Amino acid sequence: MNIRELDLNLLLVFNAIYTERSISNAARKLGMSQPAVSNALRRLRHFTGDTLFYKAGTGVAPTRAAMTLAIPIGHALDTVERGLSSVRNFDPSTSTRTFRIGVNDLIHDALVPALVGYARREAPNLMLEFVLQTGDMAHEAVKDGTLDMVLLPTFAINDEIGSAKVWDEPFTIIVSRQNPLAKLNRLTKDDIRSMQFVVTTHVRRLRQYVDDIFRSHGLDRTIACAVADTRSLYPLVSVSDLAAVVGRRFADQYNTDGSLVMFDAPFDLPDIGGHVAWSLDAENDEGHRWVRERVVEILASAFKLSRPTR
């Protein structure tokens, strides 16, 4: 017996016949014709290898096999119904749902404490599961529902997912204050050509995005090193002769000791937006909306975007 071969709609038919003890009553309960219910029962009999129900008076009675199946089938249908009800009628004070939220090293500290604190006050039984975003796979993870929400850059947003922008981030080029280039007032293209850059390995599409901008201005970055997360860029640049292209706001946050010097590029580097993204299937899910609105509010507030945009 292979459950994958079973039309799960047949379980609704089984449950109706079992509770009504009548083919005709089951048909009325399900809004189906009596022949359609009889046909569904024939398919169930073929699948299980048991007659399941036999004639008894004016109705039917279950076989031992049917009585054995009735309990798990009833529980399964009840569980699905409760789950659907919780999606349609979300009450944060009582909900026990689990939400899986992708985070990266840049937003973790701003989002997790604030969201957990809010949930503990307003939705104490809610389970929040924070998962390290797997870089370029984040788009697919949210599209297929593996993760309920992730943070994506503007170039990864399309009409296959829902999203809300939570900030715009200007790029900057950082070097160590000990780097000879730090004494310059501004960088030239020749300065860029002389630099060796450190990049991250966890979001290859972002690296490609920046490389394409540089190439459009006749420059190929020399990559000397690649680190596993964005946070590692800042201390590494501060103690080496390497440079990095990073978000200016985050560079300011990590440059508390003044060990980094920031430069504008000698050409236009467009801002990059940060977006909270989710599956289109979750668009009208009340529980999902409740959580994502708070995620958007927290990140927009933390990164000073006064009005999140769609």
Q: Does 307 score more than 50 pLDDT?
A: no
- pLDDT given at position 5: 61
Confidence band of 57 (pLDDT split at 50, 70, 90): confident
Q: Which of 44-53, 161-170, 235-244 has the highest mean pLDDT?
A: 235-244
Average pLDDT (252-270) is 92
172, 251 in Cβ contact below 8 A?
Answer: yes
Q: Which residues, 6 or more positions from 179, have their beta carbon under 8 angstroms from its beta carbon?
A: 241, 243, 261
- State both tokens at 241: 């002769």
The distance from CA 34 to its chain's CA centroid, rounded to whole angstroms, is 44
For the segment 280-305, the average pLDDT, to the nearest whole number, is 88
pLDDT score for 88: 63
b vs e for 74-83, b when ≥16 Cβ sit within 10 Å of the residue's Cβ? eeeeeeeeee
Q: If you average pLDDT over each of 43-47, 145-149, 186-190, 302-306, which comes out highest?
A: 186-190
- From residue 33, alpha-carbon distances to 23, 27, 53 in Å are 10, 6, 18
Residue 153 has pLDDT above 80, yes or no: yes
Domain ranges, ordered by start, for the chain = 3-88, 98-166+275-302, 171-270
Angular region, 201: left φ>0, alpha ψ -120 to 50, beta rest: alpha
pLDDT of residue 82: 62
Ramachandran quadrant class, 226 (left: phi over 0; alpha: psi -120 to 50; beta: rest): beta
What are the pLDDT digits (tens) for 3-29?
566 677 788 899 899 989 999 999 998
Q: Residue 228: what pLDDT?
A: 87
Stretch 177-206: mean pLDDT, rounded?
93
Contact 99, 291 (CB under 8 A): yes
The C-alpha atoms of residue 142 and residue 243 are separated, in whole angstroms, by 32
87's CB contacts (< 8 A; 6+ apart) are 285, 286, 287
What CATH code would you report for 3-88? Answer: 1.10.10.10
Longest dimension (CA), the chain: 98
Fold observed for domain 98-166+275-302: D-Maltodextrin-Binding Protein; domain 2 (3.40.190)
Q: What does the mean pLDDT of the chain come to?
A: 88
Q: Is the pLDDT of residue 86 over 60?
A: no
- pLDDT at site 193: 96
The pLDDT of residue 145: 82
> 98-166+275-302 and 171-270: same fold?
yes
User: What confidence tens digit (pLDDT) does each residue in 114-134 have?
Assistant: 999 999 999 999 999 999 886
Backbone torsions φ then ψ of 117, nearest 5 degrees = -60, -40
Decide: 166 and 275 in contact? Cβ < 8 Å. Answer: yes
Residue 219: pLDDT above 90?
Answer: yes
Identify the band that residue 281 occupies on the pLDDT scale cut at 50, 70 and 90: confident
Predicted confidence at residue 87, as pLDDT, reads 58
Q: In which band, very low, low, confident or very high, does the pLDDT at 310 lie, cut at 50, 70 and 90?
A: very low
Domain 171-270 has CATH 1.10.3210.10: no
